[in-house]
Amino acid sequence: MTDDIKSRIDALRKELNEHNYKYYVLNSPVISDKEFDDMLRGLQDLESAHPEFFDPYSPTQRVGSDINRAFTQVVHERPMMSLSNTYSVPEVEDFLHRAKSGLNGEDCQIVGEMKFDGTSISITYEHGRLVRAVTRGDGQRGDDVTANIITIKSIPLELTHGDFPDKFEVRGEILLPWESFERLNKEREYNEEQLFANPRNAAAGTLKLQNSAEVARRGLDAYFYYLLGDNLPADNHFDNMNIARSWGFKVSDTMTILPSIDAVSDFIEKWDTERKHLPVATDGLVFKINSLRQQRNLGFTAKFPRWAIAYKFQAERECTKLKYVSFEVGRTGVITPVANLEPVLLSGTIVKRASLHNADIISGLDIHNGDMVYVEKGGEIIPKIVGVELKSRIKDSKPIEFVTKCPICGTDLVRNEGEAAWVCPNSYHCRPQITGKIEHFVGRHAMNIDGIGEELAEQLYDSGLVENIADIYSLTEAKLLTLDRFKEKSARRILKGIEDSLSVPFERVVFALSIPNVGETVAKKIAHAVHDMDSLKNVSIATLSSYPEIGPIIADSIVAFFHNPYNLMIVERLRNAGLQMSVSDNDVKSESTKLQGKSIVISGVFAKHSRDEYKDLIEKNGGKNVGSVSSKTDFILAGDNMGPAKLEKAQMLGVKIVNEDEFLAMIE
């Protein structure tokens, strides 16, 4: 009986791994998502009933874990070197001449491939099974991120295709596809978090998260570009990578053998345009000597291999026509002008809209109706207009004028002294402000009520079921089922989220209220400064301004918010619904002023707590987390492998360095 169960589990794992490969690597699924989910659920049930057959690399473990773990450092068996850069065809030709000279005039074959813009990874397989994944680090050693890597569904955990060596290493690039990047930044913008500058930064940051469940949620991908080992199947790079593809690795179809410098030039010209259609970010091409024997003969400089070089593309900028400017209303009433454009391909995505930010930007750019405008992605985050092609301006076209009334409710706009934004003051009767507040309230970093997004928030408001955030706690299954196309399962999911939100800590309740100028970090500081809602309702501007990082604008916003009878009514309804209206006793006991006024930088890998936990301890003891070392830094909390740049700057400025034990003793 036991053998039968083990055989069923093994068969399901093998079949699910095969379907993962077909879906995430070949992009050719052969079963529906529901069939896959049903099969996965069946495996989960078997594994739960028979924990003796647990396997950390089972397909069921792809979702990751919420256990925090510091990364350990691993020495690379073979150094991971970077590539020297070129920016023109003649520079690539010079590289080929140097290579040929280093080979005493011997002819050499060139392979061209994409240079994906992500974070490098080295993965070791033994007997066909993934055993370790390590970041580039400093080239000599990197972080063991195996727990995060196994959540990436395009990376095989066990090889079932082909005749592979007992041990080998495969190197590649961990990427955040454009689609996942845009989704993640929309979430961060909505939660008032700093946006990722580009997919590369997002991928690198994601790979270093201590919570592998969050890594799994973000949707990383991987492409592989080099195979290393003692018994490789072929004597050249091109064949090895094609064989690796047959084993189950995702290898780019762009990899091509280039017989001449003219072919290299054509390859560059082609992919300078075609790369814009790829689902992931690229920043150039890589050219490699194909023969492994020739690679060994050419060897390395102190920093780079002599047998490979990178060609970097120029930054992208496109010119397109401005169709019209729309004015959009946010949940805080801020009016944002948006340029609606003729569609243009930029950094991997079709751009149809670009923010113009505010009236001053429009005036500074001197944009007219129908202008041809230059659009870029600032750091590849959000498209922005950077200029106007004046030679193409239509005769007698008129400048864009900023609206004076709210485009939704018609209320006269106001502009506070010293601020750039125009605002609709009709906070409680302007539809996008109300639906925006509802969507914000249920967000993951606020009350975390699963199942309510932008579309449903608008549907709840339009139906009259939810006219303000407090109405959420009056929802019932019967009410939800009156909505179009709404099913019992969805209703119960939302009601479960509403019930769970009653235990959300006070600091997130403060954030969820949509107090103007109060983001997640400020809400946390205020909550731990005043401890309860009644104190927050009655706090003075002077007292608020005395708290670290709470300036007069934030203080004015908070006091004005709690002087409004409508807001007070909402807060009381939320109190009666059972929301947390004070900081927990345990949190209060753990607070102190031992680090009051101190600016602290965290760097390195820690053994006793995660970086996030140390950041929380710093804030709870009155300190301020800062990202870079300066003369104003009081000390650096340093773990193992502190960043060399931070160490050098600390030594230059005489900034004190404190280890884990010293820090914990400092706050007792």
User: Residue 654 maps to which CATH number?
Assistant: 3.40.50.10190
Enumerate the active-site residues.
115
Q: What is the pLDDT of residue 65?
A: 47
User: Residue 213 maps to which CATH number?
Assistant: 3.30.470.30
**Boundary-marking domain end, from 426, 444, 472:** 426
Average pLDDT of the chain, as a whole number: 87
pLDDT at 193 over 70: no
pLDDT at 356 over 70: yes
**Contacts of 582-585 spanning 24+ positions with Cβ under 8 A:** 582/506, 582/531, 582/532, 582/533, 583/505, 583/506, 583/507, 583/527, 583/528, 583/531, 583/532, 584/505, 584/506
Closest CA to 323 of 289, 262, 364, 367: 367
Q: Mean pLDDT lowest for which of 64-78, 193-207, 468-482?
A: 64-78
Q: What is the pLDDT of residue 520?
A: 84
Q: Are residues 437 and 407 in the same domain?
A: no
How would residue 329 be classed by pLDDT, with cut points 50, 70 and 90? Answer: very high
Q: What is the pLDDT of residue 67?
A: 43
**What are the CA-CA distances from residue 591 to residues 123, 201, 596, 616 (Å)?**
43, 33, 11, 10
Q: What is the pLDDT of residue 38?
A: 74
* Interval 571-627: pLDDT, tens: 999 999 999 999 887 666 656 778 888 889 988 777 778 777 888 788 888 888 887
Q: Are residues 499 and 512 in the same domain?
A: no
Give the mean pLDDT of 467-472.
95
Q: Are residues 124 and 11 in the same domain?
A: no
Q: What is the pLDDT of residue 26?
A: 66
How would residue 246 be classed by pLDDT, with cut points 50, 70 and 90? Answer: very high
- Name beta bridge partners: 339: 325, 354
**Boundary-marking domain end, from 426, 448, 479:** 426
Q: What is the pLDDT of residue 422?
A: 92
User: Residue 34 maps to which CATH number?
Assistant: 1.10.287.610
Full domain range(s) for residue 29: 2-63
Helices (H), 63-143: 89-102
How would residue 63 be classed by pLDDT, with cut points 50, 70 and 90? Answer: low
Give the mean pLDDT of 491-508.
93
Q: What is the pLDDT of residue 379?
A: 46
Polymer length of the chain: 668
How would residue 201 be classed by pLDDT, with cut points 50, 70 and 90? Answer: confident
Q: What percent of the chain is predicted at pLDDT more than 90? A: 45
Q: Which residue has the tokens 């930054």?
A: 315
User: Residue 412 maps to which CATH number?
Assistant: 2.40.50.140
Q: Are residues 485 and 548 in the same domain?
A: no
Q: What is the pLDDT of residue 403?
A: 94
**What are the CA-CA distances from residue 528 to residues 316, 538, 542, 585, 590 (Å)?**
45, 15, 17, 11, 11
Helix (H) / strand (E) containing 282: strand 282-289
The residue ranking higher by pLDDT, 314 or 437, is: 437
Q: Mean pLDDT lowest for which of 124-128, 377-381, 474-478?
A: 377-381
Q: What is the pLDDT of residue 404?
A: 94
Give the mean pLDDT of 98-116.
92
CA-based end-to-end distance of the chain:
55
Q: What is the pLDDT of residue 597?
A: 81
**Pairing verdict, β 635-638 and 599-603:** parallel
- Name beta bridge partners: 427: none
Q: What percent of the chain is predicted at pLDDT more than 70? A: 93
Q: Are residues 652 and 566 in the same domain?
A: no
How would residue 257 be classed by pLDDT, with cut points 50, 70 and 90? Answer: very high
Total domains in the chain come to 6
Q: Are residues 88 and 194 in the same domain?
A: yes
Q: Are residues 101 and 46 in the same domain?
A: no
Q: What is the pLDDT of residue 192?
A: 60
Q: Mean pLDDT lowest for which of 18-32, 216-230, 422-436?
A: 18-32
**Boundary-marking domain end, from 266, 284, 312:** 312
Give the mean pLDDT of 619-637.
85
User: Residue 550 maps to which CATH number?
Assistant: 1.10.150.20
Q: What is the pLDDT of residue 272?
A: 86
Q: Are residues 259 and 161 in the same domain?
A: yes
